[in-house]
Amino acid sequence: MTLSEKSDLLKEIKTECRDVDLVGYCIKMTNTRLRKEKMETISDLTQAFSCKIWDRSLFALTFANNLDVPANDAGSCTKYKYFKTNCGEWKMNLHHILAAVGYGKEVPVIPVGHDIHCHLSSGNWFVNFWIKCCERSTLSGFTKLVDMRGIEVKSLDSSISIAEAFMKKLPGSTECSRRAALHMFLESVKDEESSIIIKILWEDLNVAIK
């Protein structure tokens, strides 16, 4: 792609995506390094939207289920240890790349892929990924995510995590958007114990609106 073509593409992206709710930046976890074009894309997005775009972003390490221990490390490293080490290296490298474009805060790096639950200390990878999406998105994006019903909130821990993400988005939002987002969230909750969280949410919401 020429510089002129890249410039035209970035202009088109800025026109189509004036209000960015959430960015999920996908990287193959099985890659040994971040390719040059990926690093350039991070720089290009920063120039197009400013560093603020990374406040609403996360990195998804795709094909995490295909990550295998290299043959030369098979005797000294378990698959679990190699998986954790690899995740840590990606987090460190991506942090350095973002720092180079002027963004010094941490951006979540989430491994995704079927059958990787045994490598995770916090349960289902899809639930973890979905909760992080809720945390990083705008209130508008939160509403859309919950409305997609890609997952039903079936555990109290998940409900608490999403409730906390929701409450952080209340300041500065309108009463209408608050209630719409809360309605979508309540509709997704399937766990009976979560009724406690729902009650707290309603009370806090009313206080916030007043």
- The shares of helix, strand and coil residues in the chain, as percent rounded to the nearest 5, are 65, 10, 30
CATH superfamily name and code, 1-137: P-loop containing nucleotide triphosphate hydrolases (3.40.50.300)
C-alpha neighbours within 13 Å on the C-beta side of residue 39: 13
pTM, rounded to two decimals: 0.74
Question: Tell me, what's the pLDDT at 172?
Answer: 64
Which tokens is 44 given?
């290009």
Question: Tell me, what's the pLDDT at 156?
Answer: 59
C-alpha neighbours within 13 Å on the C-beta side of residue 23: 21
C-alpha neighbours within 13 Å on the C-beta side of residue 137: 20
Residues 30/66, Cβ–Cβ less than 8 Å? yes
Segments of the chain assigned E as strands = 23-28, 57-62, 109-111
Structure confidence by residue, pLDDT tens digits, 39-55: 888 998 998 889 999 99
Which tokens is 168 given?
């952080």
Rounded to whole angstroms, the Cα distance separating 90 from 73 reads 19
Q: In the chain, which residues have pLDDT < 50?
A: 121, 209-210
Rg of the Cα atoms in the chain: 19
Ordered by start, the domain boundaries in the chain are 1-137, 139-210
Which tokens is 36 given?
């040059």
Question: Tell me, what's the pLDDT at 79?
Answer: 79
Rounded to whole angstroms, the Cα distance separating 190 from 184 reads 12
